[in-house]
Amino acid sequence: MTAVISEAPPAAAKRSSITATGLVLISIWGLIFVGIVWALVNSVDPERLASYGGRIAQGFVVTVELVIASMLIGALISIPVAAGRLSTNRLVAGIAFGFSYFFRGTPLVAQTFLIYYGAGQFSSELKAVGMWWLFRDALNCAVIAFALNTAAYQAEILSGAIRNVPRGQREGAAALGLHKWLTLRKIILPQALVSAIRPYGNEVILMTKASSIASIITVLDLMGQTRYVFSKTYDLSFYFWAALFYLATVEVVSHLVNLVEARLTRHVRPPSTARG
Amino acid sequence: MPELLTLFVVYYGSQYLVTAVSTALFGVPLEVSPFFAGMVALGLVMASYASEVFLAAFRAIAAGQYEAGRALGLQKGKIMRLIILPQLIRLALPGLSNLWLSLMKDTALVSVITLNDLLRQTQVAVSSTRQPFFFYLVACLIYLGLSLLSSIAIGQTRRWASRGMVTR
């Protein structure tokens, strides 16, 4: 007992020295943060805000549209890819793996360039098929690139979630004489999708952040408009406003995901918390 | 916050700051190289993700490990070096390797601030040969090769880091 008491003070002294360096570090970060906020508040110029605020808001709408469109199209594409990933056929599984490996292993910027500029190389062929209108617009190209990219990730989420459903569930359904598709629809998918909600939410957040890449191929999304405004005004604070927009979006999405998850998993929570 | 935005803020922001400071001090505006800005921006992003990974890894180490170290009469630094860090590497490795792979893809963004990376050189090649599809595909394949190499290296490191673990 006495040994413990005599040991304690030096340990406490050491801990306080560590917190001192920690305090210094935190105060440096705090100072930087305060400086940014001060610079932001200081640089608010109502005239500029009035003339460029609309543009930023428009850009924000384009970003939201871009994310929603590519997420939905990506979800559609991801279904066959996920089926391929789960397939026992070697060729099908290989193709699906190749698709997913390519789009997950290469930078999204490179993919976007590949589609936007690469389509230009086949403009005469595309015109002959009547698809040129689709690839002529930068926004469409961005949606295609993002959709393919997110499809690869979503296919991984989906196939992983389906794989994680215990085998007994499938066997139980087979024992009940349920058809394969009915098993999938009524037994496997409801359980798989519950566990997939969180990864899907992460994917939406990643997509929101990645959507700024569209600005490089001349799409006027939130980032694109901000770059335009910056090139007109040389006012750095617009980048911080754009950052706030992105942060707010990410925050809203993650809170929505939390709500949805809490709602859908209310039956598996321990009874004491579920009632309270 | 998107990586691209961080890149722009650091590039233009540090440009602004350094120019202001250097004109005030020496009377000549200095320039921030795109390489430096890209490095700092990606470094900041990486640091914020990596700190999360390390935090989770530290939390996953049982308090008993520290207590055992103290019971053996080891000093704080030694506990950290001999007991905690070897376990920490194993726990943090999956997260860190994911970060490494995504960082490698994020480096493609620096081409936007006129740094001559793989993607920017590809753009140069495209503008002189007018074969965008071919060259961007080659660039993609090079990135793919890089991530293939790193996953091999990561696999080796993982085997090394978990050498003391019971294999199931």
**For chain B, how many structural domains are there in total?**
1
Q: How far is CA B137 from the centre of its chain?
A: 24
> Measured between alpha carbons, how far is B145 from B135 in angstroms, rounded to an integer?
15
Structural domain of residue A85, as residue ranges? 56-270
The CATH number of whichever domain residue A181 belongs to comes to 1.10.3720.10
pLDDT value of position B4: 82
Domain presence at residue A167:
yes
CB contact under 8 A, B136 and A215: no
Pairwise pLDDT comparison (A48 vs A114), residue with the higher score: A114
pLDDT reading at A8 higher than 60: no
The set of residues, in sequence order, having a beta carbon less than 8 Å from that of B165 and lying 6+ positions away, is B90
Q: What is the structure's pLDDT at A2?
A: 46
Alpha carbons A31 and A66: distance in angstroms, whole number: 36
Residue B1 has a pLDDT of: 67
Which of helix, strand or coil describes residue B140? helix
* pLDDT for position A147: 93
pLDDT single digits (tens) B94-136: 889 889 988 888 888 888 887 788 888 888 888 888 888 888 8
Most confident range, picked from A68-77, A107-116, A264-273 = A68-77
DSSP codes of every residue in B31-76: ---HHHHHHHHHHHHHHHHHHHHHHHHHHHS-HHHHHHHHHTT--H
DSSP per position, chain A: -HHHHHHHHHHHHHHHHHHHHHHHHHHHHHHHHHHHHHHHHHT--HHHHHHHHHHHHHHHHHHHHHHHHHHHHHHHHHHHHHHHHH-S-HHHHHHHHHHHHHHHHS-HHHHHHHHHHHHHHTHHHHHHHT-HHHHHSHHHHHHHHHHHHHHHHHHHHHHHHHHTS-HHHHHHHHHTT--HHHHIIIIIHHHHHHHHHHHHHHHHHHHHHHGGGGGGGT--SHHHHHHHHHHHH--THHHHHHHHHHHHHHHHHHHHHHHHHHHHTTTTS-HHHHH-
The whole-angstrom distance between residue A211's C-alpha and the CA centroid of its chain comes to 9
Residue A23 lies in a domain: no
Instruction: Say which DSSP state B117 is in.
Output: -
Asked whether residue B103 is domain-assigned, the answer is: yes
Which residues of A fall below an 8 Å CB-CB distance to B?
A: 14, 101-102, 105-111, 113-114, 117-122, 208-213, 215-216, 223, 226-227, 230, 236, 239-240, 242-243, 246-247, 250
Asked, for residue B63, whether it belongs to a domain, the answer is yes
Share of chain A above pLDDT 70, in %: 90
Q: Quick check: is A12 in a domain?
A: no
Q: Residue B84 contacts by C-beta under 8 Å, 6 or more apart in sequence? A: B58, B61, B65, B66, B69
CB pair distance less than 8 Å for A236 and B12: yes
**Count of domains forming chain A:** 1
Phi, psi of A99, rounded to the nearest 5 degrees: -55, -50
Distance of alpha carbon A165 from alpha carbon A95, whole angstroms: 24
Structural domain containing residue B35: 3-115
| Residues of A with Cβ-Cβ distance to B112 under 8 angstroms | 109, 216
Q: Closest CB to A247: pick one of B1, B3, B104.
A: B1
pLDDT of residue A271: 57
Q: Is residue B47 part of a domain?
A: yes
What is the pTM for the complete model shown?
0.80
In a domain, B159, yes or no: no
- DSSP character for B165? S
B145 contact A CB<8A: no
A210 domain residue, yes or no: yes
In a domain, A174, yes or no: yes
Average predicted confidence (pLDDT) for chain A: 83
- What average pLDDT does range A10-18 have in this prediction? 51
In a domain, B126, yes or no: no
Q: Residue B82 sits in a domain of what CATH number? A: 1.10.3720.10
Residue B99 resides in a domain: yes
ipTM of the predicted structure?
0.79
Per-residue pLDDT averaged across A158-169, rounded?
89
In tens, the pLDDT along A85-125 reads 888 888 999 999 999 988 888 888 889 988 888 887 887 87
User: Does A77 reside within a domain?
Assistant: yes
- A117 vs B4, B136, B147: nearest CB: B136
pLDDT higher than threshold 50 for residue A3: no
What is the C-alpha separation between B153 and A228, in angstroms, rounded?
42
The whole-number average pLDDT for the span B7-21 is 79
